[in-house]
Amino acid sequence: MSVSRRALLVTAAGAAAAGPVTEAAAAPAAAAGRAPVAAAGGAETGATLRTLSAAADYAVAKVRAVAPRVTGFPVGTRFEKWTYSRGGDWVGGFWPGTLWMVYLYSGDETFRARAVESARNLAPRQSDTTTHDLGFLFYPSWVTAWRLTGDDEWRTGAIRAADSLIRRYNPRGGFIRAWGALDDTANAGRTIIDTMMNLDLLAFASRQTGDAGYLDIAVAHAKTAQRVFPRPDGSTPHVFDFDPDTGAPLGPGTVQGYDASSCWSRGQAWGIYGFTTMYRRTGDTGFRDTARRLADYAIGVLTPDHVPVWDYRAPQQPYDIKDASAGAVMACGLLDLHAATGRHAYRDVALRILTALAETCLTRNSARAEAVVARCTRNRPGEDGIEISLPYADYYLLEGILRVLRPADVDRAIDLSQPS
């Protein structure tokens, strides 16, 4: 794949600098007007909490203004306006997920109603066997809907989506294939680091049905990813290919990173968050330790402004274009990793990233912008979506902020429980 090396230099202003809750039956929604409650940690200064609260307030106001004219599932912006997919593409879960996060923070029932309406439009995707992204589609939308409403429609639909996802498992290689229909041979042996974030849907299905088979497949895939993705320094490639017939490993590659030896920052963030989640769902300390290796690498190459460049090993780094979405995902993963390890350094960096995003990456300076977060990069090698807004940046920024301000509410939505 040809990659342009023209310099796209972006400067950014420098940024300043819960207890585990077990899964319970779906709880009532948050009460309106509840004051923010911060979890204990070393870097939650008053200024940090005020900055994050102001960013959450801005997000609520932005979503309140934009939501009435949203006509589908936002996939990215063009000239600062959302473009849409009617079916959700791979990102359909993030708009209803954002609505749920805004609802939790504001207590406004209008957001709850809109989240339900949007999530329900994903129903046809329950039987989609052409993608590994069913976790992205159904966890922040349907699983969260079940946890916050108790309506069994959402639980049943999420389990159906998990049934579709496990059909993509290749037992010879021990991996879930990323792309292509089941009868498409072109990508039959391809897995990507992003898949780690789809495994929690399978863990959910196992807990709800008592069928260990879902979690067994998630663990098998995570073990394979643990073996083939991390390099000795803790960096990762985007892609790893196998012979689909024998399961033999073929080697690393990339689609959205600079090259097969580089480290695409959002993929690294997916890995941090995904491996930590698998530790929380299984208690396997190997997954926690893998997440730490990935986190330590990413922290070591993070630029002083605490907004990740799009690829940590691209030739123009550390002065390359940014991907704020990678920062939002990484912050959530680091907050999770702090809870899993007790190491405050992870939380401190997460707070610095969230503060940087709140201070330098919001759309406050544009009256026409429809998203909350700017300065995102979707696919730099494909020259697709450079310095735009992306729905997952909005979602994970809000999730990260609420992890700090409202940890109990986020736990009710997505289950932050630690191994017993």
Known catalytic residues are 133, 194
DSSP structure string for 54-107:
HHHHHHHHHHHHHGGG--SEEEEEETTEEEEESS-TTTTTHHHHHHHHHHHHH-
**Cα 95-100-106 angle, rounded to 5 deg:** 125
**Cβ(214)–Cβ(167) under 8 Å?**
no
CA 127 to chain CA centroid, nearest Å: 22
Q: What is the DSSP letter of 109?
A: H
- Peptide bond before 318: cis, by omega within 30 degrees of 0? yes
CA 119 to chain CA centroid, nearest Å: 17
Pairing of β 249-253 and β 73-78: unpaired
Cα separation of 361 and 103, whole Å? 22
Beta bridge partners of 175: 170
Residue 174 neighbours by CB distance under 10 Å: 20
